[in-house]
Amino acid sequence: MKKVIVTGGAGFIGSHLCDALIENGYKVTVFDNLEPQVHPGQLIPDYLNKKVNFIKGDVRDYQKFRDAIVGHDFVFHFAAAVGVGQSQYQISKYVDVNINGTANLLDILVNSKHKVKKIIVAASMSSYGEGMAKCEKCGIFKPLLRNLSEGIIVRERHYWEIKCPVCGKMAISIPTDEKTLLDANSIYAVTKKEQEEMCILIGKTYGIPVVSLRFFNVYGPRQSLSNPYTGVTAIFISRIKNNNPPVIFEDGLQTRDFIWVGDVIRANILALESEKANYEIFNVGSGKPVSILKIAKMLCVLMGKSIQPVITYKFRKGDVRHCFADVRKIKKLLNFKTTVPLKDGLARLINWCQTVDAKDDFEKVLKELKEKKLV
Ligand SMILES: NC(=O)c1ccc[n+]([C@@H]2O[C@H](COP(=O)([O-])OP(=O)(O)OC[C@H]3O[C@@H](n4cnc5c(N)ncnc54)[C@H](O)[C@@H]3O)[C@@H](O)[C@H]2O)c1
Ligand SMILES: [Zn+2]
C-alpha cells in the first residue's frame, strides 16, 4: 500500500483529499497543527476520515516534520496560512508558515534518507495578480495591478474596470493561462508563488517530480465558516446564516472562478497518478468567470433569505478585478474537466452549512482592515 502524507490535511481541501486517497487504496497520514483560526479549540475536526493517521505538528517544526515525512511515498503540501487580507499585516507569520514551512519540507527531502517519489503543492491563482485582458482595438495584454485609493466611494463601473494601456478603453477579461507573468498582489500571493517556485526548483534539481496546482476559488462543505479571513463563499454564508447582508467591495462586478472541491480533488488524484503531470504547473479552475455580486445573490436565494447584499463601492487593497482560468492545459495533459455546475455545487454547500455553526466575525475583520488602511 502506497503511503501519502498530506500537510494541512485537517483543512477544507486536504480533508476531502484524504477521503479520496483512502478510497483509492492509499494509506494516509495527516500532518497539521490545527491552526486555531481554522479549527477553534484546536480540535481534530469530526469530518476527518477515521482511517487517517493524524499527527499534530507544525511545518515550522523541522524535527517533527522530518520524522513524519520520511516513511512516505508521496507528499501533498497543503499546509498554509490562507487569509489574503490578513497576510498584509501578519507578514512574518505568513512568510514563516508558507515559505519557511516549504523550505523545511524541501530541506528535509534533500538532506534526509526518504522514499518520497512525488510532491504535489497547492499553489494559488492569487499569484497571477490581474487576469489577462483584451482591448477590442489594441489586442491582448496583461494588466498592471490597480493602484486605487482606499476609503473613496465610486459608483461608476468605468473606475473599477481594467483599461487598455494604449487607448484607455475598457478592456474585457479573458482566460489566464499558466504561462502568464505572476504579479502577486498580497503577501499571501507572494508566499504561494514562492512555495511553487521553491518546490519546482528543488524537485528538478534532485529529480523528485513536483506538480504545482494553482487552485482558483474552491468552494464546498468543510470550508471554515468561522474563519472570516478567507473564502468568499464561506464568508457570505456566515453573514447570511446570521441574518446579515453579505458585504461586497467595489461595485460587485469583479469576477472570480469558482470550482467545486470534489473537482479539485479529482485534479489532485490525476496529478498524483499521471506521469504526464510531473514538473508541470496546472490551473485548477472551472474556466468560467462569475461576478461576486452574482454569487452573493445566488447564496441569498438558495438559503431562502430575503437579504440583499450591501455594495460598498469601495476598494479593498490587494483585490484584483478579474481572473479566471484557462483550463486547456489540464484538459489536454490530464484529461481533466469539471463536473459540478456552480448552481448545484452551491446548493450542496448550503445543505451542508445548515448542519454546522457559522460564526459571523466579518465586522471584526472589517475593523482590522480599516485600522490597517486596507479598505
Ligand atoms: N480554498 C481555496 O480556494 C484555495 C485557493 C487557492 C489555493 N489554496 C491552497 O490550498 C491549500 C489548502 O487550503 P484550504 O482552503 O483547505 O485551507 P484550510 O485553512 O482549510 O486548510 C489549511 C490547513 O493547514 C493547517 N495549517 C496551517 N498552518 C499550519 C502549520 N504551520 N503547520 C501545519 N499545518 C498548518 C491548518 O490547520 C488547516 O487545517 C492551502 O495551501 C491554500 O493556500 C486554497
Ligand atoms: Zn486599446
Whether 239 is in the pocket of ligand 1, judged by its Cβ within 6 Å, is no
In the chain, where do the E strands start and end?
Answer: 3-7, 27-32, 53-56, 74-77, 118-124, 133-135, 139-141, 172-173, 210-215, 217-219, 247-248, 255-260, 281-284, 289-291, 310-311
Quote the ligand 1 centre to 163 CA distance (angstroms).
34
Whether 124 is in the pocket of ligand 1, judged by its Cβ within 6 Å, is yes
Buried b (16+ CB within 10 A) or exposed e, 179-218: ebebbbbbbbbbbbbbbbbbbbebbeeeebbbbbbbbbbb
Q: Is 272 helix (H, G, I), strand (E, B) or coil?
A: helix
Grid cell locating 314: 469601495
Is the pLDDT assigned to residue 186 strictly greater than 90?
Answer: yes
pLDDT in tens, 266-321: 999 999 999 999 999 999 999 999 999 999 999 999 999 999 999 999 999 889 99
CA separation, residue 261 to residues 149, 220, 252, 302 (Å): 34, 5, 24, 19
pLDDT in tens, 5-40: 999 999 999 999 999 999 999 999 999 999 999 998
Which residues contact residue 370 at a Cβ distance below 8 angstroms, ignoring those fewer than 6 apart? none
C-alpha–C-alpha distance, residues 354 and 237, integer Å: 10
Closest atom of ligand 1 to 125 CA is 6
Q: CA angle, 127 as apex, 315 and 223 as ends, to 5°?
A: 75
Q: Is 175 helix (H, G, I), strand (E, B) or coil?
A: coil
Instruction: Name the nearest CA neighbour of 318 among 188, 227, 219.
Output: 188
Q: Which CATH fold would you assign to the domain 3-371?
A: Rossmann fold (3.40.50)
pLDDT in tens, 207-243: 999 999 999 999 999 998 877 777 899 999 999 999 9
pLDDT on residue 374: 76
C-alpha–C-alpha distance, residues 375 and 373, integer Å: 6
Q: What is the residue with the minimal CA distance to atom 35 of ligand 1?
A: 79
State what percent of residues in the chain have pLDDT above 70. Answer: 100
pLDDT on residue 158: 95
Domain residue extents for the chain: 3-371
pLDDT on residue 282: 98
pLDDT on residue 367: 81
Whether 214 is in the pocket of ligand 1, judged by its Cβ within 6 Å, is no
C-alpha–C-alpha distance, residues 46 and 31, integer Å: 16
